[in-house]
Amino acid sequence: MPKTPHVVVAQNGEAYAGAFEALARASVPNLLGKTILLKPNAGRASQPLSGVTTNPQVVLAAIDFFQQHGAKVRVGESPILGVTAEQTFESTGITEVAKERVELVDLDARKASIVPVPNGRVLSEIRVCPDVLEADIVVSIPVMKTHMHTVVSLGLKNMKGCLHGREKVRLHQLDRPAGLPEDIKTLDAAIADLAGVLRPGFTLVDGAIGLEGLGPSAGSAKQVGLFVAGEDCLAVDAVAAHLMGFEPTKIPHLRLAAEQNGGCIDLDKIETEPTELDGLVNRFKPAPTELSVEYPGVVVHDCDSCSACLSTVVMLLERYHSELLDYAGPDKKVHIAMGKSVEDVPAGTLLIGNCTANKKAQGLFIKGCPPVASEILAAIKRNTK
Ligand code: SF4
């Protein structure tokens, strides 16, 4: 009979103290002499308290906790395209807290290892960073946030940063398999496949400052002060999602991962500490599934893009929305398309990123993987003189 998952929730306004308390109260395996790879969300060059990346004080608490239990600790990341791990560790404040304590590992520095995905729905093998496979225990330390493509981004989703370099992008470019229910994206199925081979041994969700709304990178920081920890990643994610105001069984990648690869997301079957969680729920504004709603006059055709292009377009809209409106077409809208599945779009559409290259005859193609927001605006100005 499977063991009942145990998930601890600590409430504290101070990031280091809250994270350390959650770890100290959780049941952890024997750590003496073990190699631990801490995998925070340091996938972007964000600022330390932005809610986009893991709070450096939470990473420091995990370093201290696991070292005090006799483990050899390293911290690793394979960030999104366009930035290096060195840059993201530096800007997120992790370099500062880790220096002279632990090794920071650029997970892309070594050649990828190929890992088969038995029973994968959309993946048959994946290219994984070897340091991940060599660790005795990988600890996923996501920040609590919403996500336009996956509803939430928590412990399981954070493991995508263990995939080598461009392999992360491939997850957004997979063909949709026959029979996948309509409400499930191919990306959800890919993350569920990952759960079978890349599940962390321990998960600590950083809810010191979360991110709500336009996640994963352009939402609003949200002071929360909750830390969720446990050995069963799916159970931890389910509890964290509940605390954010989402029903875990309605989050496609969690539901599929539990069905396909085992794991519990049924709150009635998870032993939580404290037992009563409803008083701790702090509702997050969900990410819009349609950027067009947030930015009037703009129609975004998001056709299986990945987070890198999505972030670029969000940044473009945030910074240059009113300028862009000067370039509206005959229907008085600015059309922007991105992702590998762009089909027919109105003439004059801004085609963002290399994935749209085969549609360049339909509009203004801006190359890059991803392109930079300021370059997109410059290209529009050049071509509409
Ligand atoms: S062009 Fe954009 S959507 Fe395509 S892989 Fe590159 S970053 Fe992702």
| Within-domain flag for 100 | yes
| Domain shared by 42 and 106, yes or no | yes
In the listed set 280, 314, 333, which residue is the last one of a domain according to the structure? 280
| Within-domain flag for 285 | no
Closest residue CA from atom 5 of ligand 1: 169
Alpha-carbon Rg of the chain, whole angstroms?
Answer: 21
| Domain shared by 257 and 306, yes or no | no
Bridge partner residues of 103 (DSSP): 74
pLDDT (0 to 100) of residue 107: 98
For residue 98, give its domain range.
Answer: 6-280
| Within-domain flag for 286 | no
In the listed set 221, 249, 280, which residue is the last one of a domain according to the structure? 280
Whether the pTM exceeds 0.85: the reply is yes
Does residue 40 line the site of ligand 1, with CB under 6 A?
A: no
| Domain shared by 66 and 211, yes or no | yes
In the listed set 239, 254, 280, which residue is the last one of a domain according to the structure? 280
| Domain shared by 169 and 312, yes or no | no
Please name which of 236, 240, 174 lies closest in space to residue 207, comparing C-alpha atoms: 240
pLDDT (0 to 100) of residue 245: 98
pLDDT (0 to 100) of residue 2: 62
pLDDT (0 to 100) of residue 121: 93
Which token pair is 125?
């093998």
pLDDT (0 to 100) of residue 256: 95
| Within-domain flag for 321 | yes
pLDDT (0 to 100) of residue 385: 63
Does residue 291 line the site of ligand 1, with CB under 6 A?
A: no
| Domain shared by 76 and 206, yes or no | yes
| Domain shared by 361 and 259, yes or no | no
Output the CA 306–ligand 1 centroid distance in Å. Answer: 6
What torsion, rounded to 10 degrees, do the Cα atoms 213, 214, 218, 224 define?
A: 20
| Within-domain flag for 1 | no
| Domain shared by 369 and 240, yes or no | no
| Domain shared by 38 and 179, yes or no | yes
- Which residues does the chain have with pLDDT short of 50? none
Closest residue CA from atom 3 of ligand 1: 305
| Domain shared by 46 and 153, yes or no | yes
| Domain shared by 272 and 330, yes or no | no
| Domain shared by 107 and 67, yes or no | yes
Closest residue CA from atom 2 of ligand 1: 309
Please name which of 228, 155, 238, 167 lies closest in space to residue 195, comparing C-alpha atoms: 155
| Within-domain flag for 131 | yes
* CATH number for position 234: 3.40.50.11440
Kindly list the distances between the CA atom of residue 34 and the CA atoms of 37, 63, 102, 103, 286, in Å, as whole numbers in the listed order: 10, 13, 14, 15, 38
pLDDT (0 to 100) of residue 303: 87
| Domain shared by 200 and 331, yes or no | no
Does residue 364 line the site of ligand 1, with CB under 6 A?
A: no
| Within-domain flag for 364 | yes
| Within-domain flag for 266 | yes
For 120-173, write each residue's pLDDT tens digit: 999 999 999 999 999 999 999 999 999 999 999 999 999 999 999 999 988 988
Per the structure, the count of domains in the chain is 2
